Amino acid sequence: MIKFAIYGKGGIGKSTVACNISAALAEKGLRVMQIGCDPKADSTALLRGDKHIPTVLDRIREKGGDMQLCDMVFENENGIVCVEAGGPVPGLGCAGRGIINALEKLEAMGAYDVFKPDVVIYDVLGDVVCGGFSMPMRKGFADKVFVVTSGEKMSRYAAGNICLAVENFKGRGYAALGGIILNRRNVKNEDALVQNLADDFDTKIIGRIDRCEEIQLAEEKAAPVIAVCPDCAVSKQLKELADVIYSGFGGA
């Protein structure tokens, strides 16, 4: 089973990237599970036509010990398994602690054994990398972390913090840094700025995604761009990114 996490600053497009990677790997015939680790619970929206699904934390609050996997784990029409960890009641509780509780609940209930995914993708908010937000990096969860950034200053700053956290945690047997994904915003010297970031952490830019109308069109249709515009240039970029990530784990 291949397990990796995609981190990035809120709004940088990490969930769009994650959903398209999930869809691309599913097209290869792989069984994919995507787990959203963002209190907004919108990680898998493009995979389920923007339809609401109950989060793990919702179900814990509603059902307690009576909950079953079918209450919080949902398959889309293409067989992609969608899970949203969720967050605390607004103003109450800790979002990081919520992620810990949700992932521990999925593991305790045998979600990975029941659904038997070939690939597990954790989509994680990366504005803060502490407590529960580092949970997917821990041993037994993701084996690699990929960081989505643009050339914008705050995006690079957040990406740098994520990369630093991965470096600091690696001595504990946590996930390794797998590379940086450049989601272009067409800022000046963007490629060079992000290349400098990659060089700082001795890693590579493993994919470059162009800013384009096709992505916006697909999001309006609440679907991955590789499904809405399969032959466009950005779909090719996303499919190539999925191939790079999969081959990095020894997949063909």
Q: Which of 14, 105, 144, 239 is catalytic?
A: 14
Nearest to 149 by CA among 95, 96, 187, 202: 187
Q: Which of 50, 71, 118, 127 is catalytic?
A: 127
Q: State how far the Cα of 66 lies from the Cα of 132, in Å rounded to an integer.
A: 24
Which residue type does 224 have?
A: P
Classified as helix, coil or strand, 123 is strand
Nearest to 126 by CA among 101, 154, 103: 154
**Active site includes 9?**
yes
**Active site includes 127?**
yes
Strand partners, 125: 8
Q: State how far the Cα of 53 lies from the Cα of 47, in Å rounded to an integer.
A: 11
**Active site includes 191?**
no
What phi and psi, each to the nearest 5 degrees, are found at residue 93?
A: 85, 175
Exposure string of 199-235, with b = 16+ CB inside 10 Å and e = fewer, is eebebebbbbbeebebbeebbeeebbbbbbbeebebb
State the burial class of residue 247 (Cβ atoms within 10 Å of its Cβ: 0-12, 13-18, 19+).
exposed
**Active site includes 170?**
no
Active site residues: 9, 14, 40, 127
